[in-house]
Amino acid sequence: MGADLEIERKFLIETLPEGLNAYPHESIVQGYVASARDGNEVRLRQKGEKFFLTIKSGGGVIRREGEIAIDREQFETLWPFTGERVVEKIRYRIECDGRTIEL
C-alpha cells in the first residue's frame, strides 16, 4: 500500500443542483474502524461490488492516504469493528472547467 498525498477541500452547499442524477454517480457505504483526534483514521469502504481498506494520517487540507482493495470476506470480517461510525452516501462527479467536482 503506497501512501499518496490527498488534497481535499470541503464546502457546505445550501441546495443540490437541478438534474443531479444526469451526472455519473455511485452509492458508497463506509465505516470507520478507528478515528483519532489528530486526524488519523482507518476506514472501510464499499463502492458497488468493490471493497477497500484506507488509512489516512494527519489533519487539515493535505493528508497522507494509503488504500488497498480487499475482498468481500475481508470487508465483512472487519465491518463489525465500525460500530455506529457508518456513512452512506451517493457521490456525483461533475466536470467543470477542467476539474472534477465530487458532490
What average pLDDT score do residues 52-81 get? Answer: 94
Q: Indicate if the pLDDT at residue 41 is higher than 80.
A: yes
What average pLDDT score do residues 62-88 get? Answer: 96
Q: What is the pLDDT of residue 53?
A: 98
CATH number of 3-12+23-102: 2.40.320.10
CA distance 59 to 14: 25
Over residues 1-16, the pLDDT tens digits come to: 666 887 878 888 899 8
* pLDDT confidence tier of residue 54, bands split at 50, 70 and 90: very high
What value does the mean pLDDT of the chain take?
A: 92
Catalytic residues, by residue number, are 32
Q: Is 103 exposed, middle or buried (0-12, 13-18, 19+ CB in 10 A)?
A: middle
Q: Indicate if the pLDDT at residue 101 is higher than 80.
A: yes
Q: What is the pLDDT of residue 7?
A: 80
